[in-house]
């Protein structure tokens, strides 16, 4: 099939590459000229496993093209909208880019259009868009139809290609003709046994939010339990294992830590709160997921304050990990950013390192003179730190030699926000102070 994708962001780019891999002819449009030029030169603008190789492979064999010129899209069996829907100040998702692109597609069309919404949009958006476009088609006396299908995406950063090609399920919402076209597009994946579920557009849109919010809920839940575990000297890892083996609960997304970040969970929890509230539905349950997360992002700073009881925190602090999770260079709503801002306010000097997210963080704190940008995990430790915080569980940190860590840190405490280390190993390495989330603190004294 000929497929046009609008938006070369994270979802648009991964979908474009994967649909090309499935044998379709894909053209991906974005108004960001610099990004398109970068892509046309075979460069990948985001850090994502397998993406650069597949991008080049599909461009090389002629299945995939990029453009910033709308006229380059001459014909397409399916038009996929994958533009951003950022949060507005009140939590609502801003769908203006989606609407703008949809109008543009219909305006340029000469014949029936299959329009797919992949962007995460508030429930009811596709139906509203349908009414709007129907009206436009009548007004402009165009004698054709626009079939709108909602097709939410469930990709995770870091494993996006795998999540697309080996999805747990594909969700499509809309009327029969549009759904039929999408089933044809996804045929190569359906043949491998991936279930495809047809439903109404509103259900598809609500499924997307519900999946993300339920996952965020699991994280906030286990983080709340971790606070209780800390107070009662229980171990959250044991609790996670204990409850996760119940098949009704499942062990995924029960890793306690310093909260969730990224471009999806924080935004989608706030958006679903709004979606409920505009219909006068009490959203306390959903809102509390966000509230718990905000407190959890402060865990490391709270523990630091407790440890250095009367000190004003104008200390030298190392931070390992800046990305909102391993496998990505994305720092949007990352817990590390909250920690950095709080510590800078307290007058701390910081040594920072991340294997891939350093450049993005440098851009954010370009004017900050209290930050030293280290080139390795080891370099962070070179400067007689007062404390070390671990904010992202990159393998390079998890596999770091504990004896070297002890030697470099001396009596400086570790605040492990991602529970990277086994407590027995920490004890054996005789680290002076080790604090982790929801697990007993480890303290070692020479006497
Ligand atoms: C999330 C969803 O997992 C995807 O299914 C969805 O498609 C995507 O949002 C989206 O809407 O586009 P993503 O934001 O890439 O994917 O990242 P996740 O792997 O879900 O992790 C989100 C955050 O939760 C990270 O900060 C991570 O550190 C944290 N997390 C995750 C925990 O704190 N504990 C866990 O047990 C799991």
The dihedrals phi and psi of 371, each to the nearest 5 degrees, come to -110, 135
What's the whole-model pTM score? Answer: 0.95
**Residue 334 and residue 313 in contact, taking contact as beta carbons nearer than 8 Å:** no
Of all atoms in ligand 1, which is nearest to the CA of residue 211? 5
Indicate if ligand 1 lies below 6 Å from the C-beta of 262. yes
- pLDDT band at 93, cuts 50/70/90? confident
Q: Identify the residue whose C-alpha is closest to ligand 1 atom 22.
A: 260
Whether the CB-CB separation of 2 and 77 falls below 8 Å is answered with yes
Instruction: Show which residues are catalytic.
Output: 264
pLDDT band at 73 (very low <50, low <70, confident <90, very high): very high
Using pLDDT thresholds of 50, 70 and 90, give the confidence band for residue 143: confident
Using the mean position of ligand 1's atoms as its centre, give its distance from the Cα of residue 305 in Å.
29
Structure-token match 């697309």, residue found: 164
What DSSP string describes 276-316? HHTTT---HHHHHHHHHHHHHTTHHHHHHHHHTTT-----E
Ligand 1 pocket member 321 (CB < 6 A) = no
Q: If you take atom 19 of ligand 1, which residue's CA is the nearest one? A: 156
Pocket flag, ligand 1, residue 172 (CB < 6 Å): no
- Per-residue pLDDT of 334-392, as tens digits, reads 999 999 999 999 999 999 999 999 999 999 999 999 999 999 999 999 989 999 999 99
* Of residues 447 and 446, more confidently modeled: 446
Residue pLDDT, tens place only, 217-272:
999 999 999 999 999 999 999 999 999 999 999 999 999 999 999 999 999 999 99
- Min mean pLDDT across 84-93, 205-214, 247-256 is at 84-93
What is the enclosing helix (H) or strand (E) of 59?
Answer: helix 51-60
Ligand 1 pocket, mutate which of 264, 354, 418 (most atoms under 8 A from CB):
264
User: Which of 420, 419, 418, 446 lies closest to 431, judged by CA?
Assistant: 446
Confidence of residue 445 (pLDDT cuts 50, 70, 90): confident
Count CB-CB contacts under 10 A for residue 107: 12
Q: What order do you get walking across the sheet with 78-81 strand by strand?
A: 64-67, 25-29, 2-6, 78-81, 113-117, 146-150, 170-173, 196-199
**265 three-state secondary structure:** helix
CB environment 297-312: b (16+ within 10 A), e (fewer) = bbbbbebbbeeeeeee
Q: For a pLDDT cut of 90, what percent of the chain falls above it?
A: 93
Rg (CA), the chain: 24
pLDDT at 447: 59
> What CA–CA distances, in Å, run from 391 to 81, 259, 352, 384, 415?
34, 10, 11, 19, 9
- Tell me if 415 CB under 6 Å of ligand 1: no
Rounded distance, CA 242 to CA 108, Å?
A: 57
């Amino acid at each position: 099939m000929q497929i046009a994708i609008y938006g070369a962001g994270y979802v648009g780019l991964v979908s474009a590459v994967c649909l090309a891999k499935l044998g379709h002819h894909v053209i991906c449009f974005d108004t960001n000229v610099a990004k398109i030029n970068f892509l046309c030169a075979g460069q990948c603008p985001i850090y994502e496993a397998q993406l650069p190789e597949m991008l080049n492979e599909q461009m090389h064999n002629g299945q995939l093209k990029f453009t910033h010129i709308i006229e380059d899209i001459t014909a397409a069996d399916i038009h996929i909208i994958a533009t951003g829907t950022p949060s507005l100040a009140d939590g609502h998702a801003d769908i203006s880019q989606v609407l703008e692109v949809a109008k543009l597609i219909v305006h340029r069309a000469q014949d029936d259009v299959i329009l797919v919404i992949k962007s995460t949009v508030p429930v009811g958006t596709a139906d509203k868009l349908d009414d709007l476009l129907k009206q436009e088609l009548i007004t402009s006396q165009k004698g054709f139809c626009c079939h709108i299908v909602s097709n939410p995406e469930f990709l995770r950063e870091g494993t996006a290609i795998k999540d697309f090609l080996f999805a747990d399920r594909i969700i499509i919402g809309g009327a029969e003709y549009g759904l039929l076209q999408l089933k044809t597009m996804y045929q190569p994946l359906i043949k491998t046994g991936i279930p495809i579920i047809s439903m109404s557009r509103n259900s598809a849109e609500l499924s997307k939010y519900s999946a993300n919010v339920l996952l965020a809920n699991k994280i906030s839940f286990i983080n709340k339990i971790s606070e209780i575990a800390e107070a009662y000297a229980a171990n959250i890892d044991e609790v996670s294992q204990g409850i996760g083996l119940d098949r009704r609960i499942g062990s995924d997304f029960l890793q306690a830590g310093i909260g969730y970040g990224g471009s999806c969970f924080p935004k989608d929890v706030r958006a679903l709160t709004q979606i409920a509230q505009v219909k006068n539905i009490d959203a306390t349950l959903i809102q509390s997921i966000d509230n718990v997360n905000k407190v959890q992002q402060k865990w490391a700073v709270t523990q630091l304050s407790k440890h250095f009881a009367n000190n004003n925190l104008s200390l030298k602090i190392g931070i390992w990990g800046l990305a909102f999770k391993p496998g990505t260079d994305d720092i949007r709503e990352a817990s590390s950013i909250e920690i950095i801002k709080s510590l800078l306010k307290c007058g701390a000097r910081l040594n920072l390192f991340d294997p891939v997210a350093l450049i993005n963080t440098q851009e954010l704190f370009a004017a900050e003179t209290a930050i030293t940008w280290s080139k390795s995990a080891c370099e962070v430790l070179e400067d007689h730190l007062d404390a070390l915080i671990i904010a992202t569980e990159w393998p390079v940190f998890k596999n770091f030699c504990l004896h070297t860590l002890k030697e470099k840190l001396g009596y400086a405490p570790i605040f492990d926000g991602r529970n990277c280390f086994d407590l027995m190993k920490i004890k054996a390495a005789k680290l002076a102070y080790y604090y982790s989330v929801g697990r007993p603190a480890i303290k070692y004294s020479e006497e």
